[in-house]
Structure 1
Amino acid sequence: MTQNPFDALGGGGFDMNALLQQAQQMQEQLQDAQERLLEQTVSGTVAGGAVTVTVNGVGEIQSVDITAGQFDGSDSDDLSDLGDMIVAAYRDAKSKAEALANEAMGPLAGGLEGLGGLGGPGPEGGPPSGQLGF
């Protein structure tokens, strides 16, 4: 007599179809959230608005705005400072994009971890939770 190892789960068996359907629904929800993030934008600003970098919800740069009259471009130190400010504004925008992504995908990522890390965000399936890897 062969004993079914899934009998211990209750209900007499393991419903693989239900698990696959749940995983497919979660994948669709995750894809919808990612599409919404592509449409949303956040901005990072430094030096009182001298430099503003706008990124979408997944961290892709959409624009860089530099206030007129702040930099003349003839001084190498001035240009170096400008470069540093662009980087700082990007980092500010990127952290806002990560927070936005955590809000949008947090519940979904938790569900994927509950399925044993099936390739979704989290310790077993990708970058650590809360980080998009950009």
Structure 2
Amino acid sequence: MKARLPQGYSAPRNNMSQMIKQAQKMQEQMEKAQEEINAKEYTTTVGGGVVEIKMTGDKVLRSITLKPEIVDPEAIEDLQDLIVSGVNEVLRQVESETETRMNDISGGLNIPGLY
């Protein structure tokens, strides 16, 4: 008696081809998402709004804006701390959005070195 394959069964070859197509589509979506993230500008403020920092998604620092009331020669260390804090916060924004977008595309697969 011959074994019969279930109706609708596709040979592994077709399955592999489909997996490759899905991987290519996922790669294209990730590249597009990364381009969109890179083009976006991220802004954060620290110190109650006296320091504003803008950075692009590809982590290029665009500007640091200081309100006049924060510029006190006696408080230079405080100002430096605010700037460092702001730069770190805007970097976290970029990294968080990148991770979220890539996880959405990859279905949550943790692929080392992906982004």
User: TM-score, structure 2 length as denominator?
Assistant: 0.74
The CA deviation at 1:69 is 3.5
Aligned pair 1:126/2:110, yes or no? no
Higher relative contact order (CA 8 A, sep 6+): 2
Aligned partners of 1:50 and 1:66 also within 8 Å: yes
**CA RMSD between the two structures:** 2.3
User: SS in structure 2 opposite 1:49?
Assistant: coil
Report how many aligned residue pairs link the two structures.
106
Aligned pair 1:94/2:91, yes or no? yes
Consecutive unaligned residues in structure 1, runs of 5 or more: 1-9, 114-121
Distance 1:93 1:42 in 2: 6
Where does residue 11 of structure 1 map in the other structure?
A: 10
Consecutive unaligned residues in structure 2, runs of 5 or more: 1-8
Out of 92, 101, 106, the residue aligned to residue 104 of structure 1 is 101
Aligned pair 1:35/2:49, yes or no? no
- Based on CA coordinates, which of the two structures has the bigger radius of gyration? 2
The CA deviation at 1:40 is 1.1
Structure 1 runs of 4+ with >3 Å offset:
none
Distance 2:106 2:67 in 1: 39
The CA deviation at 1:58 is 4.1
Where does residue 118 of structure 1 map in the other structure?
A: none
Aligned-pair identity in percent equals 27
